[in-house]
Amino acid sequence: MSVDNKDLTDEQIQDAYIFMDGTFNKSTEFDHGLFSEWLILKTILDDEYEEEIEVAKVNLYLFNGEQVDFYEAADSIDGHQEFIASKLLNVFQIDPLSRIAIIDNLYVNSENATAKTKIKLLNEQILPYLYDRGFEYAAFLNASICYEGSRLEQETTDNAFENEIPMIREIGESERWGEGVNLVDLEEYKS
């Protein structure tokens, strides 16, 4: 029996064996050091049919600070990436020569998925993937994981971030919840 991924439940996603596929795009503006990637998370729910189901996809921007000026490259993408880069450099004061991944958006392809499932995918799939690829930092906006609007999802996200994923978080006084920047030191994360 085929399952439409829009009908997947939190339990099905959280219990699934996830594998990955993806596509890379090299920056047209920079010769080295900047790639974008669509990482697709898939599973097979029914062994009989062995049909792959797309559970989620995430858009990543991958920077190698030794090859490209991090701020300049982020600014060339769009205002969100420039905003994150500015916070990473000026507030968190990370080394601009680092290997940095910005998680632009995490889309879970289920109308039933909650913030808890999104965070589980981030914690158990995406961050380990970035660590294994040799990135030193992963950063993202709150809105990249949980869209604004649902106070309960925002609170669930905040609690999970504080209790499940070691990260530094910052929301400026004049900024909305979705503009909060999160930084994960991947070396610290895997320790």
For residues 82 and 54, is the Cβ–Cβ distance under 8 A?
no
The mean pLDDT of 122-140, rounded to a whole number, is 95
What strand order describes the sheet that includes 19-26? 19-26, 34-44, 52-64, 99-108, 137-141, 181-185, 168-170
Say what the pLDDT of residue 49 is.
58
Say what the pLDDT of residue 50 is.
75
Q: Return the top range by mean pLDDT from 12-21, 122-131, 154-163.
A: 122-131
The mean pLDDT of 104-126, rounded to a whole number, is 87
The mean pLDDT of 142-158, rounded to a whole number, is 75
The position carrying tokens 């858009």 is 59
Say what the pLDDT of residue 59 is.
96
Which of 12 and 60 is assigned the larger pLDDT?
Answer: 60
Checking if the pLDDT of 87 tops 90, the result is yes
Say what the pLDDT of residue 178 is.
83
For residues 22 and 40, is the Cβ–Cβ distance under 8 A?
yes
The mean pLDDT of 112-133, rounded to a whole number, is 89
CB atoms within 10 A of CB 168: 15
The C-alpha atoms of residue 114 and residue 116 are separated, in whole angstroms, by 5
Which of 41 and 115 is assigned the larger pLDDT?
Answer: 41
Say what the pLDDT of residue 2 is.
43
The mean pLDDT of 42-60, rounded to a whole number, is 82
The C-alpha atoms of residue 173 and residue 82 are separated, in whole angstroms, by 19
Say what the pLDDT of residue 111 is.
82
